[in-house]
Amino acid sequence: MKTITDQETIKPSSPTPPHLNRYNLSFIECKMPNIHLPVIFFYENNTKNHDVINNLKKSLSNCLTKYYPFAGRLPSPSPASYVECNDEGVEFLEASIDLPLQEFVLKRDPDDTVVNKLAPDLGIESNRLLEVQVNHFSCGGFAVGVSLSHKVADGSSVANFVNYWATVTRGGSPIDPTFISYPVRDLDNNNNQGGRSHDDRMKSQSKDKYSTKRFVFSNSKLNDLKNKINNMNVTPLNPSRVESLASLLFKCAVNAATTKTGSFKPSKLSLTINMREKVISTASLNNVVGNVVNLAVAKMATDDIQLNEVITSLRKDRMEMQGGIIKDVDENGEMFIKRKMGLVLDQSHRTYTCTSLCNSPIYKVDFGWGKPVRVIRPTDKWDTASYLIFMDTASGDGIEATVKLIEEEMNIFQNDKEFLAFVQD
């Protein structure tokens, strides 16, 4: 199905200055597993430019002078506390895919084993930070798969980088990224506890088999859901689309787990929060590269889960976190690691993690061929855990939710009547 037709290393168009040859990682990133999170952008064949690939390579080379750590390498042995900005470059792959584009666009839930072949497969031991794969489909359409290490980027950073690259490709002038200067780290003193690295301990451990499904929720259905939640309170909560959907899917996932096991287990919903506005004082907040996130957590102690109570709990935790004194990215990172480790190690609760890219520029990535007809984030590189991943639909008229649950629980979850009342057929 997939044939690699070309492979080339793309280096920055100009060398990185000597004073930038070492990029120290933030507190979060030193502890973060070296997971490469792929994103795949699908495009119809509406370009008359026969030099598409060369343009992509040239613009990527230009981008790497600004995103210079991405062309570097993590030093060995792992874990690393910095990136060697040595301009060794980014692997650029071309692949021929013996399937039409519509296989991935028309199907709500394309086969993950096939989708996973559309992005570079970098293992956790790789010292590379970024790889790119351009896929040519049998119909003439194509897809750009980007795999970027979580060591240097969160979801916001990935979206901004790909948009930067696309803007340069079509001849625009994007706002340059900002890399924060962090202090030198001594990992020997603070990275290992009890013989296990944070890299290992931050991964959820499970022998269960997981299933991933994608579901679409139209804005009209989400408005119905918001109205339902507002009617639960004397004072309307006016929840966001993300809050509304996260609370619903969390409730239905917990119900599925309870049905499978025959007993309720206290459960937590963890929502990833962009903390840039809280901890960074710069005019170009959104262009700061790195992992500038934290977790708002809702705890449900009884099986009578009410959507408004989930949202209220999330908001209370978020307000307490964002209302406190957080001096900088590193202090935020310490709080994140403490919260993340608490979730991973807490055996008394089931935990469901929600990440949202809604309202991000993920569907504005235009290399000069128009905007993507679909964007997919594969989940095979995520640790073994229950996940909810939200993105806007291509039309902007709803949310596509990627749901990852234990296989037996997924079979129950997708037949839940409350869930079915809001999901799009």
Residues annotated as catalytic (active site), given as ranges: 150, 366
Taking residue 355's Cβ as centre, other Cβ atoms within 10 Å add up to: 21
The pair phi, psi for residue 259, each rounded to 5°, is -65, -40
What φ, ψ does residue 386 adopt, rounded to 5°?
Answer: -90, 120
The CA–CA distances, whole Å, from 284 to 114, 161, 175, 251 equal 38, 14, 8, 37
**Rounded distance, CA 402 to CA 271, Å?**
14
Residue 264: φ, ψ to 5° = -80, 140
For the stretch 193-230, what's the b/e string if a residue is b when 16 or more beta carbons lie within 10 angstroms of its beta carbon? Answer: eeeeebbebbbeeeeeebbbebbbbbbebbeebbebbe
- Tell me how many helices (H) and strands (E) the chain has: 14, 18
Q: Which residues contact 152 (CB under 8 A, 6 or more apart)?
A: 25, 29, 69, 70, 83, 129, 289, 290, 291
Which residues are paired to 389 by β-bridges? 355, 402
Q: Which residue has the tokens 């492979």?
A: 7
Phi, psi of 388 (to 5 degrees): -125, 125
Beta strands across the sheet bearing 267-274: 210-218, 398-406, 386-392, 350-356, 267-274, 293-300
The residue type of 123 is G
What are 195-198's contacts with CB under 8 Å, separation 24+? 197/79, 198/30, 198/31, 198/79, 198/337, 198/341
